[in-house]
Amino acid sequence: MVNGTITTKSDTKITYGDVITFDGIEIDVLESVHVILYKPAGYISSDEDENKYLSYRHLLQDCPYVNMLHVAGRLDHDTE
């Protein structure tokens, strides 16, 4: 349900402040979150790496949205 109305359309617009419920459980709608981060050398700006370098996510461990972030741009392990 969106704001108390049952909807079956996949293109229903949802905005911050709307009340979304599913099976009686209220789902949070988050505002957009933008994080600007200085990535020091020794970390990668990718979510995962086959060489097991530390990811930027290690720098943001206290950020409640860390698992929802996506990188815009990429820097290698040895660049800042």
In the annotation, is 76 catalytic?
A: yes
In the prediction, which pLDDT does 1 show? 93
Side chain identity, residue 31: E
Tell me the helix, strand and coil percentages in the chain, rounded to 5: 10, 15, 75
The predicted model gives 13-19 an average pLDDT of 87
Query: Among 18, 47, 49, 76, which one carries the catalytic annotation?
Result: 76
H/E stretch holding 2 reads: none
Per-residue pLDDT of 26-59, as tens digits, reads 988 777 778 888 888 888 888 766 677 888 888 9
In the prediction, which pLDDT does 23 show? 93
pTM of the model: 0.54
Is the per-residue pLDDT at 64 higher than 80?
A: yes
The predicted model gives 74-78 an average pLDDT of 72
- Where do the structural domains in the chain lie, given as residue ranges? 1-31, 32-80
C-alpha distance from residue 72 to each of 6, 21, 34, 41, 76 (Å): 36, 32, 10, 18, 13
